[in-house]
Amino acid sequence: MTGYHAPHKMANESSPAMPQSNLHLQRVFHDAFRQLDRGQRRFRLNVADIEVKFYPYAGLHHTIRARSGRVYVRLSDLFQTAPPEVIRALAFLLVARLLSRKAPVAHERVYRAFAFSPEILRASDLARRQRGRKVISSAQGRIYDLEKIFARLNRRYFDSELPKPVLTWSRRKSRSILGHHDTAHDTITISKALDSGEVPEWFIEYIVFHEMLHIKHPARVINGRRYYHTRAFRSEEQGFKHYRQSQEWLDRVIRRRHEVRARAA
């Protein structure tokens, strides 16, 4: 990681989950483990080892994962109003999924009756539209126009063949994330902090160029891990005309950020 663009993570994954008093939920999941994981062959869990939270996913979605002897469950916040038998059915379905076991049919039926009711379908549709929407401001900044920069780089380095994504300045002046390419929304976002007369154009070009390379070189998955900055990516990146200067400018940006932090501490 070089630190000038966001770690390429799933949308929403970093937002804090909603607080919820959940001893009851933990007990329901604990019970599902006791019944499905007979003899506790795979998990020896206490109630306290299970964390259950409601989470504002875009759309109807729940997750369960196990890590270092603990289990983490996130339920769609659309289920906050679900009756107890529905939560119980969902707990069995999720635990069965974690154990790679077939879920009891009765639980499937109870879950579906609630999840596919018109009210929940409407609510999940709304959540998907509102939460899944990307905020687009504009490619035309105060000083620099990202459309022009993109077109110029595309001509110079990609024979104008790179498909154009949505280009936008970020709404906030982030100094830790200077650029970001989002595959799901086909968007390149550049930090508004760079839209300044004090920042040389070649540095913005460099950040945009880096994100353009993410379009050309999709992430490679090796053993379940994603690699974004492959060797091919890096060597092509070094072909940028102002690569050296850009690295030095980047060092300055990072150093200044640390100084600000040190002063604040």
Residues in the site for Zn ion, rule: CB under 5 A?
Answer: 5
- Minimum distance of Zn ion from residue 38's CB (angstroms): 47
How is the chain split among helix, strand and coil, in percent rounded to 5?
Answer: 45, 15, 40
Q: Residue 5 or 30: which CB sits closer to Zn ion?
A: 5
- Minimum distance of Zn ion from residue 200's CB (angstroms): 20
145-153, long-range: CB within 8 Å, 24+ apart, which pairs? 146/188, 146/190, 146/208, 149/201, 149/204, 149/205, 149/208, 150/188, 150/208, 150/212, 152/205, 153/205, 153/208, 153/209, 153/212
Q: Which residue is nearest to Zn ion (CB)?
A: 5
- Minimum distance of Zn ion from residue 91's CB (angstroms): 39
Burial of 149 (0-12, 13-18, 19+ CB in 10 A): buried
Short-list 175, 202, 177, CA closest to 256: 175
Q: Residue 72 or 243: which CB sits closer to Zn ion?
A: 243
- Minimum distance of Zn ion from residue 2's CB (angstroms): 7
- Minimum distance of Zn ion from residue 7's CB (angstroms): 9
Q: Residue 5 or 88: which CB sits closer to Zn ion?
A: 5
Q: Residue 54 or 157: which CB sits closer to Zn ion?
A: 157
Q: Residue 30 or 217: which CB sits closer to Zn ion?
A: 217
Q: Taking the mean position of all CA atoms in its chain, how far away is CA 237?
A: 24
